[in-house]
Amino acid sequence: MSDSEGTRVDMHVKVLDEHVAQRAKDRGIDVLVYAPHFERLPTIRRRAERYTDEDLLVVPAREVFAEAWQSRKHVLAIGLDDPVPDFVTLDGAMAEFRRQDAAVVVPHPEFLSVGMNQSDIEHYADVVDAVEVYNPKHWPHHTRRADRIADAVDRPSFASSYAHLRQTVGAAWTEFDRAIESATALVEALREGVPRDVYRRSGVEYGVLSAAEFAHLGWENSWKKIDRILLSGREATHPRHDAYDGRFDDVAVY
């Protein structure tokens, strides 16, 4: 799966099936971090196990939407033991990640209306383990800003495909200077700040994919989707869902 020369990790994908797994392998990816929106951890874990084999490790994770929808902050937690819902306060989410000793990374900082800002990261510096500096949804100015933020907060960087579309998997990755053979090993590498390099593919094909991924944000941010998620209170990651047994009522924002 990985070797002594390092491990290629696509640090954040939203899609997973046999085509995604094969595409990752074809692009030399050793590890996928799978964190779909609005799915509970047990469901994510089962799907990750299904597509893990001797050539590809799929690590389950949760990208939590902290705060209210209009002011949401995306936070990616890897190595959770217990489920954490969306739409809790950022402080509540970070406290829970700390309690579970998860690795916590910041995807797309200050990107549109969905990223943690520099002040947020500095405030939670004792919890945050890495900051994303590139994914294909970025335009060049997003990448320059993310680089500046990672430098300013003195956190290690990472890149991911942030793939919402199958074709984007493996378009960017983080190569760790360590063999990573398990989810626990990835958490340890992130928590310990293991040296790594970030890479991205280039060329016409990947320019088209980048544009397609950015266009996909229209669906991601549509009220039709959020109306379905927020207003019923029955969706899997709603903080007042029965599955959470009231544990997050004091930090829920809906």
Q: 89-116 pLDDT, tens per residue? A: 999 999 999 999 999 999 999 987 789 9
In a domain, 2, yes or no: no
**pLDDT at 219 > cutoff 70:** no
Residue in 114, 113, 151, 144 with CA at minimum distance from that of residue 130: 151
In a domain, 1, yes or no: no
Higher pLDDT, 113 or 149: 149
**pLDDT at 225 > cutoff 60:** no
**pLDDT-derived band of residue 235, with 50, 70 and 90 as boundaries?**
confident
DSSP string, 61-87: EEEEEES-GGG-EEEEEES-SS---SS
Rounded to whole angstroms, the Cα distance separating 36 from 64 reads 10
pTM for this entry = 0.91
**pLDDT-derived band of residue 189, with 50, 70 and 90 as boundaries?**
very high
Rounded to whole angstroms, the Cα distance separating 254 from 231 reads 9
Query: What's the number of domains the chain is made of?
Result: 1
Residue 76, pLDDT score = 98
In a domain, 249, yes or no: no
In a domain, 252, yes or no: no
CATH number, domain containing residue 114: 3.20.20.140
